[in-house]
Amino acid sequence: MTKSNSTSESLFPSSYPDFVYNFSYGANMFPNVLSGRRKTHPIESIPGVLEGWQLTFDLRGIPALEPCFGNIKENPDAEVHGILHKMTGKQFKYLLTTEGGSGVNPNGYIPHKVNVHAYDGRIIEAYTLVVRRISPSIASHHVLPSVRYMSLLRNGAAHHKIHPLYIEYLQSLPSFERSKPVMILVIFEILLLIIFSSPVWIPVVIYYVCTNQKAQARAYFFSLIMVNSWRIYRFLGASRVFQPYYSAPFPLGSTNFKENTETFRTQVQIDEQTLPDTITDILPESNTSSPISQTTIQRKNS
């Protein structure tokens, strides 16, 4: 086993539990993306907050089309709000293949375990997708996301009723308005890049396909296109397309989440008593410093 393969296997488990939660902070918050484009239908979707992390836009995309995508990095003074999607382990493994890196490339999104405070008071262990800071796919500066991409985050947050202050935060972030003439030029450039680099990528892709490694084939091909697109733009001096900026983090505790959750949890417990198809096990309050005790809700049919 090569070092590369060993690294990949350590970052991407070969199997997952029967059911997992995926904490989505980007485009997968929007139902049309998750259920439509990615063909993943979650069992439940609930808002939550991940403390000690910051939303960034530093995963490189294709200049002038989708210059960058969402990512998160650790920051003890920040928090990220998003959606906890419950799905089967098989669904989550498939979801990884539709993301940047195709679930096999260590330089793309990798699954990372985190503890997320759900809005209903539970503390849920979930997988979130993170691009490592050592990855060459990370831009040296944040680049402006497209208006299209940011609308997915904003609409997804509004759909799932994420805290209004966080929605305002998303709305305050700048975005890049794509120009149709430039888009056409970039598409033409990509087609030329695919044609002229075909002697390089065709043998590699054929090898991966013939050895039943289709995910590796996708990861290799798209990485080739993205990396060389950025090289061409740098060579042409089109640095203005990148429009670097550093987005301010959403400050930790801005929504008084833990304090507000106590009131919310009380209402949830009252509501649960009126639901005949649920069995609720409310753990007793502990004397620890955390004001939130974990609530487990187990459905009979699960």
- CA dist., res. 57 & res. 212, Å (int): 33
Our answer to whether residue 99 is catalytic in this structure is yes
CA-CA distances (angstroms) from residue 130 to 68, 99, 228, 263?
14, 11, 23, 32
Instruction: Report the amino acid identity of residue 286.
Output: S
CA-CA distances (angstroms) from residue 255 to 49, 105, 150, 252, 260?
10, 36, 21, 8, 8
Contact 170, 150 (CB under 8 A): yes
**Angle separating helix axes 214-235 and 198-210, nearest 10 degrees:** 160
Contact 268, 260 (CB under 8 A): no
Q: Which of 44, 99, 177, 259 is catalytic?
A: 99
What tokens were used for 75? 């920051």
What tokens were used for 157? 């947050």
Residue 149 is assigned to a ligand binding site: yes
Bridge partners of 84, per DSSP, are: 23, 46
CA-CA distances (angstroms) from residue 12 to 3, 65, 127, 133?
14, 29, 11, 17
Place of tokens 């805290």: 163
Region of 237 on the Ramachandran plot (φ > 0 left; ψ -120 to 50 alpha; else beta): left
Residue 223 CB neighbours (<10 A) = 19
Dihedral of alpha carbons 86, 87, 93, 97, sign: negative
Instruction: Report the amino acid identity of residue 99.
Output: E
Binding residue positions for substrate? 149
Active-site amino acid positions: 99
